């Protein structure tokens, strides 16, 4: 079995592939080409978002891939600025129109806070997020989406939804990579049967410059990028590497090696990358970093 065939099972029985192609910072044309290339290589999970502005390209790439739509798992995200039932539901309908799909496999709330407030405000938009989640539940019941989840949600944000939800979040997509892994939050999600996805597994490129990571990769005769992917996979996470380069797509999918328990412990405890600043765009997760 290749990594492309490996899946986790969400709480409602939907199977989600462990490896996805991320499309952040791609325009429509780039996303279309990247998706077609990825699917031809074997990828069956594509990750996009309303905020990326490339849902149209992703949809076109899936349609032009020659693979049946039912075999491709597509994730999108309700933009962080939508904080009402009405705007969230309208945005899901718009995503369906933009991609040209009858359904989206997984829809996430992109952030509990609008991006302008991330790391800048203590307001967690608790009541607003409950309304957005209600829209997500209704979209699920209507068959517009097959599964629903969240992204960048801290434990308090998840617990807030749990107070009134009729369907629990099935996924939480988080920034998680070597030197910055929110272990306590991951453990909590696992206790709640919430699958965790890891975006930016190479730390926005900074992990590839880290000499301890480079040396560990040399030990296994793999690239630093592959080591980073495998680290997240061995933690039991869905991993979402982003690339438009077909050669890198193939390399990222070559996971035919195992990091020893001893080396995993070393990687888990590496110092935080010194020159990796906490961007205001990405939430700071608490717990061990």
Query: What does the pLDDT look like over 249-258, one tens digit per residue?
Result: 999 999 999 9
Would you say residue 207 has pLDDT above 50? yes
- pTM for this entry: 0.95
Residue 288 lies in a domain: no
- Please give the tally of structural domains in the chain: 1
Percent of the chain with pLDDT over 70: 94
Kindly state whether residue 127 falls inside one of the protein's structural domains. Answer: yes
Instruction: Just list the catalytic residues.
Output: 52
Question: How does DSSP classify residue 42?
Answer: T
In-domain check, residue 239: no
115 part of a folded domain: yes
Angle at 24 between CA 149 and CA 245, to 5 degrees: 125
Q: In terms of residue numbers, what domain contains 157?
A: 15-169
Locate all alpha helices (DSSP H) within the chain, ordered by sequence: 28-41, 55-63, 85-99, 126-141, 155-162, 183-191, 211-219, 224-234, 246-252, 261-268
Structure confidence at residue 1 as a pLDDT band (50, 70, 90): confident
Is residue 86 in some structural domain?
Answer: yes
The CATH number of the domain where 40 resides is what? Answer: 3.20.20.100
Contact 207, 181 (CB under 8 A): no
134 inside domain: yes
Percent of residues, the chain, with pLDDT higher than 90: 92
**How many whole angstroms separate alpha carbon 225 and alpha carbon 109?**
28
20 is a domain residue: yes
Residue 281 has pLDDT above 90, yes or no: no
CA neighbor of 20 nearest in space, from 66, 62, 67, 75: 75
Q: Which of 16-25, 61-70, 165-174, 273-282 has the lowest mean pLDDT?
A: 273-282
The pLDDT, as a whole number, for residue 67 is 98
Cα–Cα distances in angstroms (integers) from residue 73 to residues 18, 59, 130, 147, 261, in the given order: 11, 11, 26, 11, 31
277: pLDDT strictly greater than 90: no
Residue (of 67, 25, 65) closest to 48 by Cα position: 25
Answer yes or no: is 262 within a domain. Answer: no
pLDDT digits (tens, 9 = 90+) for 35-92: 999 999 999 999 999 999 999 999 999 999 999 999 999 999 999 999 999 999 999 9
């Amino acid at each position: 079995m290749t990594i492309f065939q490996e899946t986790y099972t969400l709480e409602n029985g939907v199977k989600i592939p462990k490896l996805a192609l991320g499309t952040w910072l791609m325009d429509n044309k780039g996303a279309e080409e990247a998706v077609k290339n990825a699917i031809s290589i074997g990828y069956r999970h594509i990750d996009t978002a309303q905020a990326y502005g490339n849902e149209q390209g992703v949809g076109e790439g899936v349609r032009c891939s020659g693979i049946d739509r039912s075999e491709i798992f597509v994730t999108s995200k309700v933009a962080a600025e939508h904080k009402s039932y009405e705007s969230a539901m309208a945005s899901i309908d718009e995503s369906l129109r933009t991609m040209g799909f009858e359904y989206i496999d997984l829809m996430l709330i992109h952030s509990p806070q609008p991006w302008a407030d991330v790391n800048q405000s203590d307001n967690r938009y608790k009541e607003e997020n409950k309304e957005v989640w209600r829209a997500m539940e209704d979209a699920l019941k209507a068959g517009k989406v097959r599964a629903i989840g969240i992204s960048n949600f801290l434990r308090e944000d998840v617990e807030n939804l749990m107070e009134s939800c009729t369907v629990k979040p099935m996924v939480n997509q988080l920034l998680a990579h070597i030197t910055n892994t929110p272990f306590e939050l991951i453990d909590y999600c696992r206790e709640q049967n919430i699958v965790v996805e890891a975006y930016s597994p190479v730390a926005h490129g900074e992990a590839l410059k880290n000499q301890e990571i480079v040396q560990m990769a040399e030990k296994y005769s793999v690239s630093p990028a592959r080591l980073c992917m495998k680290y997240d996979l061995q933690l039991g996470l869905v991993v979402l590497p982003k690339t438009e380069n077909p050669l890198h797509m193939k390399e990222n999918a070559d996971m035919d090696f195992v990091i020893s328990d001893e080396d995993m412990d070393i990687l888990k405890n590496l110092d935080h990358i010194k020159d990796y600043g906490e961007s205001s765009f990405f939430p700071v997760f608490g717990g061990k970093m």
